[in-house]
Chain A
């Protein structure tokens, strides 16, 4: 049982380049999330998706776009990467039928130079 799978694990981009972070879950969860983690800042919510076909902004959405392609997949796109987007990115998923915990992918370490 894979849980939440994120790709890639590491990426180095030049300023202005674009890229897409991929996330897939196999737990039939409705809700999916993208967070970024910077030293001392905890997990800050970028975007979330309550269900297939819906997405909402979180705390720090600027510079990012997302797509909920289907129930399994939720991708995060950086259209024009900036050094301020250097961070560790985590995807998570969660069922919403009752009180449930979130399950996390292993993270993507992104460096923008």
Chain B
């Protein structure tokens, strides 16, 4: 059965801190790993990673994939209160149709 495991499950930091969120996966026929941010509504897409070692970057957020060790990290530098959210990772498995999510990391950034 496909598995996506995120850690930590929750994290509290102060504004300006740098955080690293982890996502490990075990899926059949791995093709890609997806990161989403969820505030009080539907998840919004952040990154898709398909190749090992190639960093994807968007402003203060960056992410990288390690296909050998089966994990990905999401880094957020100089955190702001607006970064407070649940961060979800997901991987399509099997024949590329089934999309499995992890439990998410609840990030709280305090002023």
Contact = CB atoms under 8 A, between A and B. Distances in A.
Interface residues of A, number: 27
A45 B101 contact: yes
Interface in B64-111: 88, 90, 92, 95-104
B97 A50 contact: yes
A71 interface: no
A102 B90 contact: yes
Given A50-B95, A90-B42, A43 B48 contact: no
B43 interface: yes
B34 interface: yes
Contacts of B103: 40-42
Given A99-B31, A102-B90, A106-B41, A31 B104 contact: no
A99 to B, nearest CB: 4
B62 interface: no
Contact of B9 (A31, A35, A40, A92): A40
Interface of B: 6, 9, 31-32, 34, 41-43, 45, 48, 50, 88, 90, 92, 95-104
Interface of A: 31, 33, 35, 40-45, 48, 50, 56, 58-59, 90, 92, 94, 96, 99-107
